[in-house]
């Protein structure tokens, strides 16, 4: 019994030591984790430098591989269409060199050979002038002199030589300069404009549904699998196939200038222009999480410099951007303009699924109105 009584306190003390030791360790671990969370929270604190946020957003936009988008617009926008005006060039006038007639040369040589030179008109004129001069200076001699008839040379027939054909002069043709494209603007109604879809810039594919009611043949469903396109208008069940070159600057599957993706990326570049003053409104909760809200007033000069290489003009207006706090990805952009030069319009673009868009496939052949072009046929 004493042994048992003596052993219980030891066991109890051991148990208490282990229990309190565990609690102490758990408390310490919790403190460490809380400190780590605090440090992590401090390291991911929102940025206050608006230009740093915009620079990070532009870097991500330049590296964009795929994205889901929703576009809505209203109002009216001036759109530039390229018009190539040929430059007139002056045609060079060939220089013609007068060559002596072959018959004249042959006549002169024949007369010399016969020993009866034919006096030229200048020689006869000189002799007559000398005679008149002598008569006027010595009248006596003139009176005593008896007139004598001047002998008349018998005409000599000139042999007819065959004409010589002169070589045609060489005309120097200057290269025709390439005409500079000029743009003429036309107003386009944006009322009811909406489009949604996926773009894969790496694989040059896109799938868009929607359009602009104010632009003919720009509403329906479009699939781009470069170099082919598949399109069907509203109410149609089958696709027509074509070439993506027919889309021109409106090809959503391209990333370079002046594609739609390039245009949207330029909006971020414009917002960070050195001559403008972007403002960080604050951090707001959006569908993708906490986002930086940035607003900037865009001037007409900055807009022209950024987009005029394509003949387009965004105009002066207000641009608002929402950029994710964690990944610096543009979640939403809104632009409104009241500039008559570019049109009174409003745009709203929402992005999601950054770099995680599923593969875009061509339509089922059963839904094709025309045969699907094959790679072998195009080659």
Query: Predicted confidence band at 182 (pLDDT cuts at 50, 70, 90)?
Result: low
pLDDT at 304: 79
pLDDT at 4: 39
pLDDT at 228: 96
More confident residue, 254 or 144: 254
pLDDT at 279: 97
Q: In order of start, what are the domains of the chain with their CATH numbers?
A: 50-85+179-356+365-372 (2.50.20.20)
Contact between residue 294 and residue 54 where contact means Cβ atoms under 8 Å apart: yes
Residue 2 has pLDDT above 90, yes or no: no
Q: Angle of helix 300-307 relative to helix 260-271, nearest 10 degrees?
A: 140
pLDDT at 163: 57
* Helix %, strand %, coil % of the chain (to 5): 35, 25, 40
More confident residue, 316 or 327: 327
pLDDT at 225: 97
Q: How far apart are CA 254 and CA 195, in angstroms?
A: 17
Q: How far apart are CA 155 and CA 114, in angstroms?
A: 12
pLDDT at 258: 81
When mean pLDDT is compared across 41-55, 75-89, 283-297, the lowest value belongs to 75-89
First to last CA, the chain: 101
pLDDT at 146: 47
pLDDT at 220: 95
pLDDT in tens, 163-177: 555 555 555 556 666
pLDDT in tens, 81-111: 555 555 555 555 555 555 555 444 444 444 4
Beta bridge partners of 72: 194, 348
Q: How far apart are CA 219 and CA 199, in angstroms?
A: 17
């Amino acid at each position: 019994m004493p042994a048992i009584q003596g052993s219980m306190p030891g066991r109890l003390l051991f148990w208490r030591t282990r229990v309190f030791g565990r609690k102490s360790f758990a408390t310490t671990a919790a403190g460490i984790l809380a400190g780590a969370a605090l440090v992590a929270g401090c390291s991911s604190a929102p940025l206050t430098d608006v230009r740093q946020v915009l620079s990070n957003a532009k870097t991500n936009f330049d590296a964009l591989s795929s994205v889901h988008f929703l576009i809505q617009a209203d109002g009216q926008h001036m759109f530039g269409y390229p018009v190539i005006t040929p430059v007139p060039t002056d045609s060079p006038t060939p220089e013609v060199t007068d060559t002596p007639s072959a018959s004249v040369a042959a006549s002169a040589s024949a007369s010399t050979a016969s020993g009866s030179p034919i006096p030229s008109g200048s020689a006869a004129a000189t002799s007559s002038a000398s005679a008149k001069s002598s008569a006027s200076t010595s009248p006596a001699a003139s009176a005593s002199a008896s007139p004598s008839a001047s002998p008349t040379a018998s005409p000599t027939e000139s042999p007819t030589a065959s004409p010589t054909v002169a070589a045609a002069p060489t005309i120097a043709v200057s290269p025709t300069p390439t005409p500079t494209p000029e743009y003429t603007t036309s107003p386009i109604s944006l009322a009811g404009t909406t489009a949604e879809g996926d773009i894969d810039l790496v694989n040059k594919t896109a799938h868009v549904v929607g359009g602009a009611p104010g632009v003919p043949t720009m509403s329906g469903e479009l699939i781009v699998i470069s170099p082919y396109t598949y399109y069907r208008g509203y109410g149609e069940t089958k696709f027509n196939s074509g070439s993506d070159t027919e889309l021109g600057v409106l090809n959503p599957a391209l990333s370079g200038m002046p594609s739609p993706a390039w245009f949207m990326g330029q909006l971020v570049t414009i917002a960070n222009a050195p001559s403008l003053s972007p403002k960080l409104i604050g951090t707001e909760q959006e569908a993708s999480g906490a986002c930086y809200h940035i607003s900037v007033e865009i001037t007409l000069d900055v807009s022209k410099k950024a987009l005029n290489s394509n003949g387009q003009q965004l105009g002066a207006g207000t641009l608002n951007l929402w950029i994710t706090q964690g990944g610096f990805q543009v979640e939403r952009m809104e632009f409104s303009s009241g500039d008559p030069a570019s049109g009174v319009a409003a745009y709203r673009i929402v992005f999601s699924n950054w770099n995680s868009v599923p593969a875009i496939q061509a339509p089922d052949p059963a839904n094709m109105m025309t045969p699907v072009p094959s790679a072998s046929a195009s080659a």
